[in-house]
Amino acid sequence: MSEFIEGIEREMDIRFGPGRGESERGDPAGGEPQPAVSGRIDTLYLGGGTPSKLGAPGIGRLIDAIRARWPFTADPEITIEANPEDVSPNAAATWREHGVTRVSLGVQSFDDGVLRWMHRTHDAAQAVRAAGSLREAGFEDWSMDLIFALPPEVNRSWSADLQRALELEPRHISCYGLTLEPHTPLLRWRERGHLHEADEERYEAEFLEADRVLGGAGFEHYEVSNYARDGRRARHNSAYWRRVPYVGLGPSAHGFDGLVRTWNVRDYVAWRQAIGAGQYPVAGREELTPESIALEEAYLGLRTSNGVRLSDSNRQDFGRWAREGWADVEQESARLTPAGWLRLDSLVSDLTNVRSR
């Protein structure tokens, strides 16, 4: 725990210099100066892994280290991703004491057989207890992750999981379709014929069922995978979709200054070695072109309920998609329907191909 937190502090020193708002900077790849962080931090997201494994004291130390360097806004959103087995009354209370305002709970399913198949280290009872600990600690803003579109070989009721999730009364739910990533046991099992990916019909049926059930329970389907009640949209994630600049710290973390995207080395040992040598641990960088920015704006806009502005170049496409039930068109803007979100990649490709011609 101490090694990891000291590494984050060291990376901040290398990249941004000591102290709040100092302009002293490290020297990232290519000799380009690292932009200083100005203004106040509005959102902090501890995730992209399992930060709850740092333990409650570790999370407190990490947040305190960041607060010591940069000022926060008066009402920041500070989120931590947590596995149910790491959430106890003491941990939740400690997170609250150090300013955490939001917890993203990786439940995935309430079926113990499914959880064992996923090699999760918690069971359904632990997920329920974790939700109770968050409520007792005073967390009004917490989210639950669920996975749908499991292989047909897995005996799982998506309907039952949705209903059980609603009974715990989270203000935010994220639903992700299972994907088989390279170099994972799941992909090897598929290659050996031991399991099959959910077909498109099952994926679509479960995606639309979540939209119908959660929408009927008062949730706003505000982004492809995300649902919120009572205005509890995830502020941090929403900033990504608006292309707001952000700083990424730690192994494999990504950052974005509005024009250039960078990403750190992925391997923990390599990250430690780089910062130990006083080097910015960057693995790569991408400078966005006007064309790539336009593509990104279209894609990010269409994956949210905010949609995009209508223009002479896209009005005809949206009119056609509206007739298919894939889009809702208003006077000056258009957005995709849930049925359209299922075709997001191809629809964005159609838009950008027309624009390029």
Give CA separation, 121 vs 83, 158, 211, in Å.
Answer: 9, 20, 28
pLDDT at 184 (0 to 100): 67
Q: Hey, what domains does the chain have and what are their CATH numbers?
A: 38-240 (3.20.20.70), 291-356 (1.10.10)
Structure tokens at 85: 């087995």
pLDDT per residue over 283-330, tens digit each? 999 999 999 998 899 999 999 999 999 988 889 999 999 999 999 999
Asked if residue 30 has pLDDT above 60, the reply is no
pLDDT at 186 (0 to 100): 65
Residue entry with tokens 């669920």: 146
For the ranges 159-163, 175-179, 193-197, the maximum mean pLDDT occurs at 159-163
Rounded average pLDDT over 236-260: 95
Q: Confidence band (pLDDT; 50, 70, 90) for 31?
A: very low
- Nearest residue to 265 (alpha-carbon basis) of 249, 277, 276: 249
Report the SS3 class of residue 336: strand
Count, residues in the chain? 357
pLDDT at 199 (0 to 100): 85
What CA–CA distance (Å, rounded) separates 315 from 329? 9
Asked if residue 215 has pLDDT above 80, the reply is yes
pLDDT at 302 (0 to 100): 95
pLDDT per residue over 41-64, tens digit each? 999 999 988 899 999 999 999 999
pLDDT at 35 (0 to 100): 54
What CA–CA distance (Å, rounded) separates 192 from 194? 6
Q: Measured in whole angstroms, how far is the alpha carbon of residue 19 from the centre of its chain?
A: 29
Asked if residue 181 has pLDDT above 80, the reply is no
Contact 95, 57 (CB under 8 A): no
pLDDT at 349 (0 to 100): 86
Q: For the chain, where are the alpha helices, taking DSSP H only?
A: 2-16, 55-67, 89-97, 112-117, 124-136, 158-167, 185-191, 200-216, 235-241, 268-276, 290-302, 315-324, 338-341, 344-356
Asked if residue 185 has pLDDT above 90, the reply is no
Asked if residue 211 has pLDDT above 60, the reply is yes
pLDDT at 194 (0 to 100): 63
Element (H, E) at 21: none
pLDDT per residue over 145-159, tens digit each? 999 999 888 889 999
Q: Measured in whole angstroms, how far is the alpha carbon of residue 3 from the centre of its chain?
A: 25
Rounded average pLDDT over 223-229: 97
Of 47-61, 74-88, 191-205, 270-284, give the lowest mean pLDDT range. 191-205
Rounded average pLDDT over 108-113: 96
What CA–CA distance (Å, rounded) separates 327 from 347? 10
Rounded average pLDDT over 260-280: 96
Asked if residue 27 has pLDDT above 70, the reply is no
Q: For 68-155, where are the alpha helices, taking DSSP H only?
A: 89-97, 112-117, 124-136
pLDDT at 356 (0 to 100): 45
Average pLDDT for the chain = 90
Structure tokens at 143: 């989210």
